[in-house]
Amino acid sequence: MTALSGKVQTVLGLVDPDQLGRTMTHEHLTMSFECSYVSPPPADEAVAENPFQLQHMHWLKQNPYSCRENLFLQQEVSALRDELLAYKKAGGGTIVENTTTGIDRDLPTLRQLAKDTGVHIVAGAGFYVDSTHTVATKKMSVEKLTDIIVSEVLHGADGTDIRCGVIGEIGTGWPITESETKVLRATAYAQAQLGCPIIIHPGRNTAAPAEVVRILQETGGDISKTVMSHLDRTIFDEEELLEFASLGSYLEYDLFGTEMLNYPFNLDVDMPSDSQRVKALAFLVKEGYEDRLLVAHDIHTKHRLTKFGGHGYSHILKNIVPKMLSRGISQHQVDKILIDNPKRWLTFK
Ligand SMILES: CCC(=O)NCCS(=O)(=O)O
């Protein structure tokens, strides 16, 4: 038991879990994804430098990471405020903002957005993938990393008094690097001290989620309070999915709204459509996992904002929920996915 037990920690302080309402468990509001820039094909360079025009929007959807300007979501604070107000109007209550060290977390802006809009925002502690770890981070011991993560939850992060309410998204690649392994171990130790929720960004390989779970378990992590993100681009085979589900983490489909033919971070992956995501959720519900499912959009680039013709943060509430209902997921099960499961995960033990 800690002072946080039974509560959820938002950027404005502790709240009662019943106040959260419908929750997107994996979003970004202020971040940079410059670490993942992919050079455009030479013939497309002119489009990439002048992207936000109607005639270029299809190109941008297919090549979101090949346009530098698209990667600086944090430049759109005013549009984000409008997005959050629209999210609230659509019935949203809470957003988990998973930006961690390495991709430009901005806690004062998150606090201001929460104050301006009344949407609860839960911020993330810890570190993103290896390529964003500084030389100093890579040299740190697991104990030092643990102290930093614990302090970001108990006292505040980035020199502020704004406290994080989850650990993650903790970034891992494939294969998992030495530095990422240390961060995973620190995450498990911090979780054991704090009884807090954690959320993982796995590498882009079918074996990656289970390997992360193995490392966390080895270090005393609580898998029942762990979210495995991005399953929609990671595990496709139903049997493999059930095998992973049996390990006991939350199962997150968090790329709703993303459709692209060639996924540049792993060309072997066929990025699913939203219909295929709903089909995967219906399959997991049928297999008895309705208490472990979570959903989100993981917006991390500008072109997905409604300002630029994108689907925005209300797409799931407005468009995906009706689709779920039409595909055999009941209203009670939808409420579990949007309200009860996030609430249980986010509540400190
Ligand atoms: C920081 C945002 C992020 O990591 N999103 C995941 C993108 S992907 O790995 O699923 O392509």
Report the CATH number at residue 285.
3.20.20.140
56 lines ligand 1 (CB under 6 A): no
Contact residues for 112 (Cβ-Cβ < 8 A; gap 6+): none
The answer to whether position 62 is within a domain reads: no
The answer to whether position 278 is within a domain reads: yes
The answer to whether position 38 is within a domain reads: no
In residues, how long is the chain? 349
**pLDDT computed for residue 71 by the predictor:** 98
Sign of CA dihedral 336, 337, 343, 345: positive
104 lines ligand 1 (CB under 6 A): no
The protein residue whose alpha carbon is closest to atom 11 in ligand 1 is 265
The protein residue whose alpha carbon is closest to atom 2 in ligand 1 is 300
**pLDDT computed for residue 49 by the predictor:** 87
Annotated binding site for a divalent metal cation: 26, 28, 169, 201, 230, 298
The answer to whether position 223 is within a domain reads: yes
Q: Give the atom of ligand 1 at the shortest distance from the alpha carbon of 300.
A: 2
Instruction: Work out whether strand 250-253 and strand 226-228 pair parallel, antiparallel, or are unpaired.
Output: parallel
- In the reported structure, the alpha carbon of residue 271 is separated from the centroid of ligand 1 by a whole-number distance in angstroms of 12
**pLDDT computed for residue 29 by the predictor:** 98
Domain count, the chain: 1
Whole-Å CA distances, 210 to 143, 176, 235, 280, 295: 24, 12, 11, 18, 20
Instruction: Work out whether strand 8-10 and strand 13-15 pair parallel, antiparallel, or are unpaired.
Output: antiparallel
The answer to whether position 57 is within a domain reads: no
pLDDT one digit per residue (tens) for the chain, 349 residues: 789 999 999 999 999 999 999 999 999 999 999 999 999 989 999 888 888 999 999 999 999 999 999 999 999 999 999 999 999 999 999 999 999 999 999 999 999 999 999 999 999 999 999 999 999 999 999 999 999 999 999 999 999 999 999 999 999 999 999 999 999 999 999 999 999 999 999 999 999 999 999 999 999 999 999 999 999 999 999 999 999 999 999 999 999 999 999 999 999 999 999 999 999 999 999 999 999 999 999 999 999 999 999 999 999 999 999 999 999 999 999 999 999 999 999 999 9
ipTM of model over 0.95: yes
**pLDDT computed for residue 199 by the predictor:** 99
Q: Which of 25, 30, 24 is nearest to 87 (CA)?
A: 24
- In the reported structure, the alpha carbon of residue 43 is separated from the centroid of ligand 1 by a whole-number distance in angstroms of 26
Q: Is 239 helix (H, G, I), strand (E, B) or coil?
A: helix
**pLDDT computed for residue 228 by the predictor:** 99
The protein residue whose alpha carbon is closest to atom 8 in ligand 1 is 230
**Contact assessment for residue 193 and residue 222, using Cβ atoms and an 8 Å cutoff:** no
Q: Based on C-alpha coordinates, what's the Rg of the chain? A: 19
The answer to whether position 349 is within a domain reads: no
Q: Give the atom of ligand 1 at the shortest distance from the alpha carbon of 98.
A: 1
The answer to whether position 48 is within a domain reads: no
- In the reported structure, the alpha carbon of residue 70 is separated from the centroid of ligand 1 by a whole-number distance in angstroms of 14
Annotated binding site: 26, 28, 169, 201, 230, 298
Q: Which domain does 220 fall in, by range?
A: 8-32+71-344
